[in-house]
Amino acid sequence: MAIAHVQVDTWRTAYKGIVPDNFLDRMSYEGAQRNWQWLIDPVSAAAVYVAEDDSRVVGFAAGGVEKGKDPYKAQLYAIYVLEEFQRKGIGLKLTLPIVQDMKSSGLTSMTAWVLEESPSKQFFEEIGGARTGSKEKIIGSKSLQEVCYVWKNLGALVERLGRGQGSAS
């Protein structure tokens, strides 16, 4: 449920004016909990990490085997940090163990899909994601574009993230 709270609250702040208001208003913690339940199922083999502040979950990241048809084998499924905790290095700290897990599993490259209009898109660019394409995504009644970012060398990304820096490819 803590992950669900982070995801819903992050969407409501980050996507205000991007995603239709009626969609954001209809989001529920219970619905998000059902959507994310697969992450903590041992069968999914997803890696999930959370960031806490005084025992309160303020962010989470999840990744694992790529779920689509991209030629890359790993995918950063999600990374969400509550607005008041953004720009404090939490995203880097959450992404690092995900990438380390994927690299340790023998995966060498990774993708992440991000809404084109997302204010967090800059994070993926700062850590060296190369934009490789886009696709349409319908959210509520609105057609939006999702951008695919790729990292072809997880070893280099681990090094950069470990130093707390962006600009890895």
Mean pLDDT of 13-25: 96
Residue 72 lies in a domain: yes
Mean pLDDT of 14-25: 96
Q: What is the structure's pLDDT at 167?
A: 45
Residue 17 lies in a domain: yes
Residue 122 lies in a domain: yes
Q: What is the structure's pLDDT at 16?
A: 96
Q: Which residues contact 54 (CB under 8 A, 6 or more apart)?
A: none
CATH number, residue 35 = 3.40.630.30
pTM greater than the 0.85 cutoff: yes
Q: Alpha carbon of 23 to those of 3, 62, 138, 142: distances in Å?
A: 19, 23, 11, 10
Rounded-to-integer distance, Cα 126 and Cα 113, Å: 15
Phi first, then psi: give them for residue 110, nearest 5 degrees. Answer: -150, 150
Q: What is the structure's pLDDT at 72?
A: 63
Residue 108 lies in a domain: yes
Rounded-to-integer distance, Cα 158 and Cα 161, Å: 5
Of all residues in the chain, the percent with pLDDT exceeding 90 is 76
Q: Count of domains in the chain?
A: 1
Residue 113 lies in a domain: yes
Mean pLDDT of the chain, nearest integer: 90
Of all residues in the chain, the percent with pLDDT exceeding 70 is 91
Residue 88 lies in a domain: yes
Range of the domain at 115: 2-162
Rounded-to-integer distance, Cα 115 and Cα 140, Å: 14
Q: What is the DSSP string of 55-110?
A: TEEEEEEEEEE--SS-S-SEEEEEEEE-GGGTTSSHHHHHHHHHHHHHHHTT---E
| 9 or 36, which is more confident | 9
Residue 51 lies in a domain: yes
Residue 80 lies in a domain: yes
User: Where residue 168 falls among pLDDT bands split at 50, 70, 90?
Assistant: very low
Give strand pairing partners of 150: 111, 130
Instruction: Name which of 4-8, 42-46, 124-128, 146-150 the model is least confident about.
Output: 42-46
Mean pLDDT of 94-108: 92
